[in-house]
Structure 1
Amino acid sequence: MRILTVQELNQHIKTLLEKDYLLANVWVKGEISNFKAATSGHFYFTLKDNYSCLRVVMFRSRSRSLLFRPENGMAVTVRGYVSLYERDGAYQLYAEEMEPDGTGALYLAFEQLKERLQKEGLFDPGHKKPLPLLPKRIGIVTSPTGAAVRDLVEIIRRRWPGLEIVLVPVLVQGESAPPDVARGVQLLNKLGGVDLIIVGRGGGSLEELWAFNTEIVARSIYNSKIPVISAVGHETDITISDFVADKRAATPSAAAELAVPDKREMTRHVQSLKTRLYRAANDKVKGCGQRLAACMNNRHFTRPLDVFCGSRQQSLDFLLHRLNQGVHSSVGGQEKRLAVLAGRLQTLSPLSTLARGYSICTTPDGNRVVQDTDSVEIGARLSVRLHRGLLHCVVENKNSDN
């Protein structure tokens, strides 16, 4: 009896699995769980139903071609081959394709990208730039051979002859289209002198319009410093570019009409404004002339002396009379009050006291009033102020009795 190593047994089982025709190319339906996106770009997850589960790996070479992002709980259908991972001794499905179950992959990818970019604020109305009223130079990013570019150029030149158009030819379909369109928008921003950009293409299927549902194109439009009009497909076609752009046009032809006004209509509008301005100015001048004539006929201009020397002079005389009365009354009252205060002051004056026979005794320099006998010595010199005159005395005797 031969005894096998673990590795030999796993290799044998792997060989059996890989030789099975059914397991070489099998479609499996289930629900994603334990999903993990490695930094290497590989996807690892479990595919399960109500009864069983299956390990699945999808290498980067396959995962990068997915249009949608797998998530836990998502029902999918996976195509691949079954083999054994020798290290763990576990068989697993090596996925090569994956599609959402019940929902188209393109539609799911569209909804996922739309939701993510909306959360990041790329659709925010506050970020959208107004379109210029009269652009001098318009940049167009589209295929140089499609009907869309012919319609754009024809309508723009018909509506505003002589306007400069800068065409950036790009691919609008296929794997190379998204980076090509993004480079076209970036190039016009670097070029300078462009007032408006139109990005788009003619109609087609969802797959043919897919370049305008990619993140790289959406971010190039969002980061553009120049206003962008998105003109992709027909009126019913909605793309991510339409949500990000500053203005969405239903068709390329509609984009041309949004981009520039009709010169003939603008000329008629300017002429109408000119006529209205002339009439308004004429009416204003006429009205001012009538007001001036009315002012000139007013008696203030025809008889100015009557205004100043008539009733106004009488009013002035009356006011002057009232002013004089007020002044005399005020002065008389103040004179009476002054007389009363002067009488009170006279009563309190030391001079009045001296007039009644009293006198004031001070030191000879007059700096100190002598109020009692103890403050002077016998032989001291004093000054005595009378009502009229001053006496210089010498103390010969003093009596301290009251």
Structure 2
Amino acid sequence: MNTPNSNPAAAKPTALSVTQLNDQVKQTLEGRFRNIWVAGEITDIARPHSGHIYLTLKDKQSQVRGVIWRSAAERLRFDLQDGQSVLCQGDVDVYGARGTYQLVIRRVELRGVGDLQFALRQLQQKLQAEGLFDPARKRPLPRFPRRIGLVTSPTSAAVHDFLEVAQRRWPDLNVLIIPTKVQGTEAAAEIVAGIDAAHRIQPALDVLVVARGGGSLEDLWCFNDERVVRAIAASQIPLVSAIGHEIDVTLSDLASDRRALTPSEAGELVVRSRDDLAKELAKLADDLRLRIFQKHATVQSQLEQLSRRPVFTRPFDRIAQQSQWFDEAELRFNRGIQQVVAKMRQQLASTAELLDAVGPLKVLARGYSVTQTADAGKLVQSVEQLQVGQSIQTVLADGIVHSTVDTLTENRDNAKG
């Protein structure tokens, strides 16, 4: 006889709800896959206004969704892009509402190149395109700065190294230290503020030095901060960067007017050696004396040559020659005047003779006479001008005859037709 409990058909399986299933999967996956690293290629990046970043990690066979919450996204050192091969650290998270899981990413590193190096390369390309590193915009340093600003940590070795060199080269130099942090998350903002403060110092600074000692890429990262690089490029004071050691090159170095390999070299670049200057001035003085001596010798030789010229050895010869020349010129002038006057007199005599020959007196002397009216003295040229009884006068060569017209006889041959 079969009992109810022994009947297989009567047994009911225990069923899980969908929510229960998802909860158990969530507990299993989230408990099992925590703080894991996943390698893959980024694709399908989405950046909503919330500040979160959504993406997909894939390899050749599979893919998984990932999310970077805003708090973690703000700490990324470089921009995520499709196609990047990355290592992502995070936890598996199950989204029960859809029965899906995703990787909650807290940290991203580039595979093959560090994230800091990649971020540095990205920012360098951006600022290079803007012209911040253009050599044409770099300014020369003043030859004799009186006031120098040093932006750095006041307790760093950089201060000691710079001041040691600067004081040795020019003991009375005025160096103002503008204290800032040079490492850590707050350093970039303080360096920018220090550069800004340097521009408000009065009397104005002649040159500005931004310095720190060596360190790792992480230690020097504040000098690759975009805010610091832009502040250095915008500085109105000629600026020298002295960051790290010879092998360390930051974006601040590229944006500065001059790069010093070390803080000590910055002291040598900015501050001229007083001893070297004294030697230079002594050399210039020697060169000046030599040139003066050479010039004096040249002028003395020229004077000696000039002194041997006849104008100096026999100065009155020239005066005598000029006097003789003037005498000869005067004689030539007088002869010329005499010749001209004689010729003019001859021409005048000839003209007078010609005028005398054709003059009225000569004509009268040859037997001719001139008749005029007695009242007006008008020349009588025709009988039509006279009347019977009119008084006339006749001019002869030796006198005048007064008469009265008795009759008028017209010459028929000359009568008008």
1:133-172 correspondence runs (5 A): 133-172=143-182
Q: CA deviation at 1:198?
A: 1.0
Other-structure match for 1:71: 81
Other-structure match for 1:17: 26
Other-structure match for 1:304: 318
Partners of 1:99 and 1:79 in 2: CA distance: 9
Other-structure match for 1:205: 216
Change (3 A) 1:261 1:313: farther
- 1:82-131 Cα offsets, whole Å, 9 max, x none, are 22446766432221111111211222222222121111111011111111
8 Å contact 1:18–1:83 — kept in the other structure?
no
Instruction: State the AA in 1 paired with 2:264.
Output: S
Partners of 1:307 and 1:178 in 2: CA distance: 91
1:321-360 correspondence runs (5 A): none
8 Å contact 1:18–1:82 — kept in the other structure?
no
Change (3 A) 1:153 1:14: farther
Partners of 1:108 and 1:281 in 2: CA distance: 63
Instruction: State the AA in 1 paired with 2:143.
Output: L
Partners of 1:83 and 1:232 in 2: CA distance: 44
8 Å contact 1:151–1:252 — kept in the other structure?
yes
Other-structure match for 1:189: 199
Q: TM-score when scaled to structure 1?
A: 0.71
Identity %: 38
Partners of 2:190 and 2:157 in 1: CA distance: 19
- 1:335-376 Cα offsets, whole Å, 9 max, x none, are xxxxxxxxxxxxxxxxxxxxxxxxxxxxxxxxxxxxxxxxxx
Partners of 1:197 and 1:60 in 2: CA distance: 38
8 Å contact 2:52–2:70 — kept in the other structure?
yes
8 Å contact 1:55–1:93 — kept in the other structure?
yes
Partners of 1:68 and 1:112 in 2: CA distance: 8
SS in 2 for 1:54: strand
Partners of 1:312 and 1:155 in 2: CA distance: 81
Partners of 1:89 and 1:313 in 2: CA distance: 134
Partners of 2:126 and 2:276 in 1: CA distance: 42
SS in 1 for 2:200: helix
Partners of 1:15 and 1:121 in 2: CA distance: 58
Deviates more, 1:231-240 or 1:155-164: 231-240
Partners of 1:120 and 1:14 in 2: CA distance: 53
Matched, 1:49 2:59: yes
Partners of 1:11 and 1:190 in 2: CA distance: 67
8 Å contact 1:42–1:57 — kept in the other structure?
yes
Instruction: State the AA in 2 paired with 1:283.
Output: Q
8 Å contact 1:17–1:23 — kept in the other structure?
no
Change (3 A) 1:145 1:313: farther
1:51-130 correspondence runs (5 A): 51-85=61-95, 90-130=100-140
Change (3 A) 1:214 1:313: farther
Partners of 1:169 and 1:313 in 2: CA distance: 94
8 Å contact 2:142–2:206 — kept in the other structure?
yes
Partners of 1:78 and 1:207 in 2: CA distance: 20
Q: CA deviation at 1:81?
A: 2.0
Partners of 1:55 and 1:276 in 2: CA distance: 79
Matched, 1:252 2:260: no
Partners of 2:323 and 2:311 in 1: CA distance: 12
SS in 1 for 2:278: helix
Other-structure match for 1:333: none
Instruction: State the AA in 2 paired with 1:196.
Output: V
Instruction: State the AA in 1 paired with 2:299.
Output: C
Q: CA deviation at 1:304?
A: 2.5
Other-structure match for 2:291: 280
8 Å contact 1:41–1:59 — kept in the other structure?
yes
Other-structure match for 1:215: 226
Partners of 2:25 and 2:269 in 1: CA distance: 66
Q: CA deviation at 1:276?
A: 1.4
Deviates more, 1:138-147 or 1:295-304: 295-304
Partners of 2:35 and 2:97 in 1: CA distance: 23
SS in 2 for 1:41: coil
SS in 2 for 1:70: coil
8 Å contact 1:300–1:307 — kept in the other structure?
no
- 1:134-164 Cα offsets, whole Å, 9 max, x none, are 1001111111112111111111011011110
Partners of 1:89 and 1:249 in 2: CA distance: 59
Change (3 A) 1:265 1:71: same
Unaligned runs of 5+ in 2: 1-12, 337-380, 385-417
Partners of 1:257 and 1:131 in 2: CA distance: 12
| Equivalent pairs, count | 321
